[in-house]
């Protein structure tokens, strides 16, 4: 059972940032449920075999003020994938700081190591004003460049992508869901 976490403040953003991820799962008959980040309970986390923290819009960064709501990430023992804002939350929880960088649209990114099935040059869809520099954190970086684009925690099954895989890298999401 995959738990999708919605971090959007605006209800209308659900259709753009959460539903497309849910649709990818539904098409493959992967079971899951959705919670808004303000409503996630211990019971929800216990029920989840994996968690995806979805992204949100350029202007919507209210989650930054509520990062403590994600403190469960430090002790969670199952796989987590953070997308864009979700990745930023992961970085903040593990001690990173937000930095400014606006990237909107398709960009070519080079995966130097295999990351949830993606390797080599990939065209990815970016939509962010901020990022976290994971280089000084306990994470491995999988994409070349100054901005951390795809990371994995060194000891935990915690993955983060700054781009939106629901647009061009749907397989990445499915590979995450199919992790043992």
Q: Catalogue the active-site residues.
A: 84, 164, 166
Query: What minimum distance in Å lies between the beta carbon of 138 and other proteins?
Result: 31
**Range in contact with other proteins (rule: CB under 8 A) among 87-95, 101-109, 145-153, 171-179:** 101-109
Is 60 strand, coil or helix? coil
Report which secondary-structure segment, H or E, holds 122. strand 118-132
41 makes contact with other proteins (CB under 8 A): yes
Q: Which is nearer to other proteins, 66 or 135 (CB)?
A: 66
64 makes contact with other proteins (CB under 8 A): no
32 makes contact with other proteins (CB under 8 A): yes
The residue from 60, 61, 140, 171 that contacts other proteins (CB under 8 A) is 60
Q: Which is nearer to other proteins, 66 or 110 (CB)?
A: 66
> Are the C-beta atoms of residues 41 and 80 closer than 8 Å to each other?
no
175 makes contact with other proteins (CB under 8 A): no
Among candidates 26, 33, 50, which has minimal Cα distance to 180? 50
Question: CA separation (Å) from 147 to 21, 67, 142?
Answer: 24, 21, 11
102 makes contact with other proteins (CB under 8 A): yes
Q: Round to whole Å and give the CA distance between 13 and 2.
A: 20
Give start and end residues of each alpha helix (H) in 118-169. 165-168
**Range in contact with other proteins (rule: CB under 8 A) among 18-26, 72-80, 83-91, 130-138:** 18-26
179 makes contact with other proteins (CB under 8 A): no
Q: Compute the radius of gyration of the chain from its Cα atoms.
A: 15
> Are the C-beta atoms of residues 4 and 18 closer than 8 Å to each other?
yes
The residue from 5, 38, 68, 111 that contacts other proteins (CB under 8 A) is 38
Among candidates 98, 94, 86, 104, which has minimal Cα distance to 131? 98
Interface with other proteins by CB under 8 A: which residues? 4, 6, 8-16, 19-20, 22-23, 25-26, 30-36, 38-39, 41, 44, 57-60, 62, 102, 104-106, 125, 127, 129, 166-167
């Amino acid at each position: 059972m995959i738990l999708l976490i919605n971090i959007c403040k605006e209800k209308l953003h659900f259709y753009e940032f959460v539903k497309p991820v849910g649709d990818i799962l539904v098409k493959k008959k992967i079971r899951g449920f959705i919670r808004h980040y303000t409503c996630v309970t211990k019971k929800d986390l216990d029920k989840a075999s994996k968690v995806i923290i979805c992204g949100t819009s350029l202007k919507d960064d209210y989650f930054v003020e509520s990062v403590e709501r994600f403190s469960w990430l430090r002790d969670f023992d199952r796989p987590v994938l953070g997308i864009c804002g979700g990745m930023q939350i992961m970085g903040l929880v593990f001690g990173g700081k937000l930095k400014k960088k606006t990237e909107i649209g398709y960009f070519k990114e080079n995966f130097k190591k295999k990351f949830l099935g993606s390797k080599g040059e990939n065209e990815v869809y970016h939509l962010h004003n901020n990022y976290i520099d994971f280089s000084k954190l306990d994470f491995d970086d999988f994409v070349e460049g100054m901005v951390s684009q795809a990371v994995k925690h060194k000891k935990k099954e915690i993955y983060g992508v700054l781009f939106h895989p629901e647009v061009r890298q749907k397989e990445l999401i499915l590979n995450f869901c199919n992790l043992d």
